[in-house]
Chains A and B, each alone.
Chain A
Amino acid sequence: MDIGGLIAYLVSLAIMAGIFAVFALGLNIQWGYTGLFNIGIAGFFCIGAYTSAMITTPMPTGLYAQYVHQIFGLNLPFIFGLLGAALVCGFIAYLIGYPTLQLREDYLAIATIGIAETFRLIFNNEQWLANGPRGLMGLPQPLQGLVEARHYNYIYLVVVLAVMVVIYLSIERVIRSPWGRVLRAIREDEIASAMSGKDIFRFKMQSLIFGSMIMGVGGALYAHYTKAISPDVFTPLYGTFIIWVMLMAGGSGNNKGAVLGAFVIWGIWIGTKFLTDLLPYTLKARAPYIRFLIIGILLEIILIYRPRGLIGEEKRISKMID
């Protein structure tokens, strides 16, 4: 591989890691700061990606319309795709949170698994909604005409990193506000925070919605990077599990940890591809399963031997106290 090819490869790697970092940041609000157990990230991933795809593409016309069905196509710019994805995901999060957030913590987990599976089934089976199992293709990319198509990834890397930084800074800001302190208080001791007069349900709901909106943005970023989406992308493995491993590896309750974990685990995930390339030909078809097995074992090792992750939570969050 020549040096230009290597750099292009690293750029594509960094784009995916950046997108996963957005998901990890969203999960960090829910799990890291509030202790909400969301294992249906794939559902928000899926909804975010489809929403943005349908906001930014035009309604198919002519011959094309016979082969591609979608419920709406607004043909709006990329930024509206991101915002729409966030809004729709926030609304879905409200619907899930309403029946589950007042109950014990694992009910939310089961409900989020349910929503992820249900949306994948709906997008797979309902042809009229978003073209069924074949999915949507030809999604537009922001600032497309600026450089040659083969160099476009550099631009998209900047877009992804910019979105990631904006999200990172806004979480850092709110988590250090009184609102953020309440979230951590709820995570540590729900009853004590309720006794201090905090409306637990409302704060949990806000945290769930905020985190899910960020996940929706992540889904939109993914959709416009790959330019084609279909329901089989949003599996529990690729859409949920690996993001949990990223957050646990980096250090839940720490935004730097979430970003670091995303880059490290994505690096390991890609690295295992080189390992499985060494396998004999007969085992090649099973290589992805071996790679996921390694990631699964990695999670168990982290949970037992290094539950804090690489960085761990900061002890002190305000400059005012020492």
Chain B
Amino acid sequence: MAELIVYGVVLGSIIALGAIGLTLVYGILRFANFAHGDLMTAGAYVSLFLVTGLFPWFGIPDTTFGSLSFGWRMAFAFPIAMACVAAASIFFDRILYRPLRLKGSGSVILAISALGASFIIRMIVLILWGGDYHFYRPGVLRPAIILPLEIKIRPDQILILITVLSLVVFLYLFLKRTKMGKAMRATADNMELARVSGIDTERVIIWTWGIGGALAGAGGILYGIDVQLHPGMGWHFLLPLFAATILGGIGNMYGALVGALVMGVAQQVSTAYLLPTYKPAVAFIIMILILLVRPQGIFGGGRA
């Protein structure tokens, strides 16, 4: 059980990267971005292309760092893939959501558009890579370190936790200390008020998509390192992402972080009693319970 909880924290930290981005977009643009899970898929596959396609061609060596399952190729691919997904999210906003925003379409129309975008991303992944499972390093032995309480943990998983933690700290400092971070928080509070105070809300929206996309991409890559890549991975993340976002209160970054950890642990612990394929259903049941008991979330400001 202790081991499942640790694995749950690892899964939860990956969910957190998606959920934080989702809650930022939700809080600022006020619509449910159903494409967020598939942005994670996009990050994982861009990274796959770099690691197994482009970098070998460049001659970057295929060595690994110590007992980790990856090396320099992934170290370069990670930030590049994050940037690519950020660019893709901004691109989607420009060509799909912005025209709708300017026309004054309702949030549901934007959400339908995002649903369309999610299928478009998944179909592009399926056309380019097919429907099979992929690994960044197929057939690699993944030794585990044994911690007290007989917890087996792989070095990869420890690195995943460190990566997520540093990304979250980085985002915290960005939101607290920089001018753009303050502008983003102001816009999330009240877009009209932010606009009349001279904040360029279009730029805030671009930054929001950039950050949300980059974090989602990072989450997808980390899941690929931890488990595997599959075109449907992002869609399976969608329910835990929304459950975490709702649990934490929409627009609340720290709430999303806590919600994601709860979801990760709950999903992993459930595998002790249920088939692992039921993980999305577990997230769904928890979400329904939250909606019944406390729809504004645990830290919710009552914007439900």
Contact = CB atoms under 8 A, between A and B. Distances in A.
Partners in one complex: yes
Interface of A: 35, 37, 39, 99-100, 103-107, 109-111, 113-115, 117-118, 121-122, 124-125, 236-237, 241, 244, 248, 285-286, 289-290, 292-293, 296-297, 299-300, 303-304, 307
Nearest to A118: B281
Nearest to A100: B291
B87 interface: no
26 contacts: A35-B108, A37-B108, A99-B288, A99-B291, A105-B108, A106-B31, A107-B246, A107-B295, A110-B287, A111-B284, A114-B239, A114-B280, A114-B283, A114-B284, A114-B288, A117-B239, A118-B280, A118-B285, A121-B278, A237-B119, A290-B123, A290-B127, A293-B120, A300-B113, A303-B112, A307-B103
A118 B284 contact: yes
A289 B126 contact: yes
A107 to B, nearest CB: 6
Interface in B229-244: 235, 238-239, 242
A39 B235 CA distance: 13
A304 B100 contact: yes
Contacts of A111: 284, 287-288, 291
A35 B243 CA distance: 23
A113 B239 contact: yes
Nearest to A291: B123
B222 interface: no
B231 to A, nearest CB: 9
Nearest to A300: B116
Chain A interface, >50% SS class:
helix
A103 B123 contact: no
A113 B37 CA distance: 13
B130 A286 contact: yes
A300 B108 contact: no
B123 A110 contact: no
B119 A296 contact: yes
A115 to B, nearest CB: 8
Given A99-B291, A111-B287, A37 B126 contact: no
Chain B interface, >50% SS class:
helix
Nearest to A122: B281
A184 to B, nearest CB: 15
Interface string B217-254: 00000000000000000010011001000100000000
Tell me which of B96, B123, B285, B295 has the highest count of chain A C-beta atoms within 10 A of its own C-beta.
Answer: B123
A105 B281 CA distance: 21
A117 B236 CA distance: 9
A114 B280 CA distance: 8
Contacts of B127: 286, 289-290, 293
Contacts of B103: 307
Nearest to B278: A121
B119 to A, nearest CB: 5
Interface in B192-223: none
A296 B295 contact: no
Contacts of A113: 34, 238-239
Contacts of A39: 34, 115
A289 B116 CA distance: 14
B214 to A, nearest CB: 23
Interface string B83-110: 0000000000000100110010101110
B147 interface: no
Contact of B280 (A106, A121, A241, A296): A121
B123 A292 contact: yes
B291 A285 contact: no
Contacts of A115: 284
B90 to A, nearest CB: 16
B141 interface: no
A113 B34 CA distance: 10
B99 A304 contact: yes
B281 A241 contact: no
Contacts of B124: 293
- In order of increasing CB-CB distance, the 7 nearest A-B pairs are A114-B284, A293-B123, A289-B126, A106-B32, A296-B120, A118-B281, A299-B116
A103 B296 CA distance: 9
B288 A117 contact: no
Nearest to B242: A110
A297 B121 CA distance: 11
A233 to B, nearest CB: 16
Nearest to B250: A104
A124 B116 contact: no
Nearest to B111: A106
A103 B295 contact: yes
B117 to A, nearest CB: 7
A28 to B, nearest CB: 14
Given A104-B304, A292-B123, A293-B124, A125 B277 contact: yes
Nearest to A237: B119
A18 to B, nearest CB: 24
B278 A125 contact: yes
B275 interface: yes
A218 B295 CA distance: 33
B120 A297 contact: yes
A106 B117 CA distance: 17
A118 B235 CA distance: 13
Contacts of A117: 239, 280-281, 284
A303 B304 CA distance: 27
B145 interface: no
Given A103-B304, A241-B115, A286-B126, A307 B120 contact: no
